[in-house]
């Protein structure tokens, strides 16, 4: 798609206040593929005013009509799914089959789920002599990351619209084109002017202005824990609702009874998917000492198969960061069994699929989020040791447990300090709540739990 040279406010594309633009670069070959406006605090203010003006009308719109608009939005996304996939491939570098299967298909499923939820959700209930109403929280400032650039947008905008909120979106500067395509889809779906607004721009400028704006009632942010901490502080000072979906260092726990080959192969696939740029990736594989060497050999062989299958990282900064972590792993004594810090191609932001063995829980690569195709394999002595290692980071976003008997895996998963656990390779469920314990965030996305984030409660006594 061709980039818009404006921002989408109050139902129309209009020039940004300033002249600055952000170049969009294809990370596979470093070619500039477009440019979008670098919105300023003035643009954010204009967008928030439009959202505030549209709020009373949208909040009063019957849920069935909001559901109809969301269904129309889903239908436009379906009609444009090939264009979505091609756009994400161009600006993120994700291989086209993955863009089709995940970057296009998952947001369509999520949009459809909120079309249904908007129609069926119980917005009022009787409790004794009271009626309890769930009302929209107001104007939402949504700040989204580049790693799943359309999914993260839909996971915020769809529930906000279902709840009756209006939205100002500031998408990641690396992947703004698919956000512009989404704005076109919202327009085509007949969502009233001002209900959804898009301001492209830099995080420290437009993102900060949105988080600080007194006209924003809730800030929903997905990204790094470091930036999440800043946004949480801004929101806390203003006594403003905040939803934060932050980093992860998820454990893939392979219990001794598990089908080792399957658990290792699915585990490696999980980490290499999206070039490792997934907050919930199972980047720590925990294996019993008696099966450790076998697991390491399986993982190294599996990782080698991904050398030609994964895309680049999103930009030069991320490539340098990930290569730095790989070098640090080697320096701290971990054993490289696949990949390494050398760039596999001359152009583009590529990193080889990398696997470390002999990783101990105190190593940097076992504690910090790398956000690249890097797997650390740790050994454990017994189940209590595995649990201690699994829970031994500041994060708690996702995880996996493998065992011969489902009940054994479930018993372990219930003791993990994390928001989502896949049992024996359980499939992604767009209706299940997604979000973290500890420093992985505040609040939940997806399904009814995701809708509840955008509501506030009023009780009337009779």
Q: Where are the beta strands (DSSP E) in 19-162?
A: 21-26, 31-37, 124-127, 130-136, 139-143
What would the pLDDT profile of 137-196 be if each residue is shown by its tens digit? 999 999 999 999 999 999 999 999 999 999 999 999 999 999 999 999 999 999 999 999
Tell me, yes or no, whether 177 lies in a domain.
Answer: yes
Q: Are residues 215 and 329 both part of a single domain?
A: no
Q: Are residues 258 and 221 both part of a single domain?
A: no
Query: Distance (Å, rounded) from C-alpha 136 to C-alpha 58?
Result: 10
pLDDT at 1: 74
> Of the residues 245, 369, 408, 445, which is catalytic?
245
Tell me, yes or no, whether 314 lies in a domain.
Answer: yes
Query: Is the model's pLDDT at 218 over the cut of 90?
Result: yes
Q: Are residues 232 and 319 both part of a single domain?
A: no
Q: Are residues 77 and 182 both part of a single domain?
A: yes
pLDDT at 397: 98
pLDDT average, residue stretch 423-448: 97
Tell me, yes or no, whether 333 lies in a domain.
Answer: yes
Closest CA to 41 of 217, 210, 215: 210
* Residue corresponding to tokens 């209930």: 125
Q: Are residues 125 and 219 both part of a single domain?
A: yes
Query: Distance (Å, rounded) from C-alpha 314 to C-alpha 312?
Result: 6
pLDDT at 311: 97
pLDDT at 215: 98
Tell me, yes or no, whether 207 lies in a domain.
Answer: yes
Q: Give the number of other CB atoms < 10 A from CB of residue 12.
A: 11
Domain holding 148, by residue range, is 7-246+440-461
Q: Which CATH number characterizes residue 66's domain?
A: 3.40.605.10
Query: Is the model's pLDDT at 131 over the cut of 90?
Result: yes
Tell me, yes or no, whether 43 lies in a domain.
Answer: yes
What would the pLDDT profile of 339-368 be if each residue is shown by its tens digit? 999 999 999 999 999 999 999 999 999 999
**Domain total for the chain?**
2
Tell me, yes or no, whether 377 lies in a domain.
Answer: yes
Question: Given CA atoms 187, 160, 44, 439 in this order, what sign does their dihedral have?
Answer: negative
Q: Are residues 42 and 88 both part of a single domain?
A: yes
pLDDT at 34: 97
Q: What tokens were used for 250?
A: 């998820």
Query: Is the model's pLDDT at 2 over the cut of 90?
Result: no
Assess whether 279 carries a catalytic annotation: yes
* Main-chain phi, psi angles of 382, to 5 degrees: -150, 180
Q: Are residues 384 and 453 both part of a single domain?
A: no
> Of the residues 279, 369, 445, 453, which is catalytic?
279
Tell me, yes or no, whether 1 lies in a domain.
Answer: no
pLDDT at 84: 98
Q: Are residues 90 and 228 both part of a single domain?
A: yes
Closest CA to 245 of 456, 407, 443: 443
pLDDT average, residue stretch 426-445: 97
Q: Which CATH number characterizes residue 347's domain?
A: 3.40.309.10
Q: Where are the beta strands (DSSP E) in 149-207?
A: 166-170, 196-198
Q: Are residues 183 and 287 both part of a single domain?
A: no
pLDDT at 454: 98
Q: Are residues 134 and 228 both part of a single domain?
A: yes
What integer best gives the mean pLDDT of the chain?
A: 98
Query: Is the model's pLDDT at 76 over the cut of 90?
Result: yes
Q: Are residues 234 and 300 both part of a single domain?
A: no
Tell me, yes or no, whether 434 lies in a domain.
Answer: no
Q: Are residues 22 and 128 both part of a single domain?
A: yes
Query: Is the model's pLDDT at 277 over the cut of 90?
Result: yes
């Amino acid at each position: 798609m061709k980039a818009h040279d404006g921002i989408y406010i109050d139902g129309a594309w209009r020039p940004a206040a300033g002249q600055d633009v952000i170049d969009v670069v294809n990370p596979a070959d470093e070619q500039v593929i477009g440019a979008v406006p670098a919105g300023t605090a003035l643009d954010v203010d204009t967008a928030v005013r439009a959202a505030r003006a549209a709020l009373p009308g949208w909040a009063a719109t019957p849920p069935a009509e909001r559901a109809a608009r969301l269904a129309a939005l889903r239908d436009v996304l379906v009609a444009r799914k090939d264009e979505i996939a091609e756009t994400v491939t161009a600006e993120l570098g994700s291989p086209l089959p993955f863009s089709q299967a995940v970057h296009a298909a998952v947001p369509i499923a999520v949009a459809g789920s909120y079309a249904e939820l908007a129609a069926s959700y119980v917005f009022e209930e009787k409790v004794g002599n009271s009626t309890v109403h769930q009302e929209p929280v107001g104007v939402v400032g949504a700040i989204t990351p580049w790693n799943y650039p359309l999914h993260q947008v839909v996971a915020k905008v769809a529930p906000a619209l279902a709840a009756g909120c209006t939205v100002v979106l500031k998408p990641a500067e690396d992947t703004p084109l698919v956000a512009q395509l989404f704005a076109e889809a919202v327009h085509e779906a007949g969502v009233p002017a001002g209900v959804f607004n898009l301001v492209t721009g830099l995080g420290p400028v437009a993102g900060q202005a949105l988080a600080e704006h007194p006209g924003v009632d809730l800030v929903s942010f997905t990204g790094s824990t470091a930036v999440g901490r800043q946004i949480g502080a801004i929101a806390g000072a203003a006594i403003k609702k905040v939803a934060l979906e932050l980093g992860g260092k998820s454990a893939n726990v392979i219990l001794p009874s598990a089908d080792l080959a399957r658990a290792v192969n699915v585990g490696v696939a999980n980490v290499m998917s999206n070039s490792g740029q997934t907050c919930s990736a199972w980047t720590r594989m925990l294996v019993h000492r008696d099966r450790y060497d076998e697991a390491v050999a399986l993982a190294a062989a599996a990782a080698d198969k991904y050398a030609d299958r994964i895309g680049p990282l999103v930009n030069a900064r991320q490539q340098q960061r990930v290569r730095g972590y790989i070098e640090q792993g080697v320096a701290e004594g971990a054993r490289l069994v696949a990949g390494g810090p050398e760039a596999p191609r001359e152009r583009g932001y590529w990193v080889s699929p990398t696997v470390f063995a002999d990783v101990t829980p105190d190593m940097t690569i076992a504690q910090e989020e790398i956000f690249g195709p890097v797997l650390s394999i740790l050994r454990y002595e017994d189940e209590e040791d595995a649990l201690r290692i699994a829970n031994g980071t500041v994060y708690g976003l996702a995880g996996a447990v493998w065992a011969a008997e489902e009940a054994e895996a479930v018993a372990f998963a219930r003791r993990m300090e994390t928001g989502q656990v896949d049992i024996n390779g359980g499939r992604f469920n767009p209706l299940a709540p997604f979000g973290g314990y500890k420093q992985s965030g505040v609040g939940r996305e997806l399904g009814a739990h995701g809708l509840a984030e955008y509501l506030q409660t009023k009780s009337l006594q009779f």
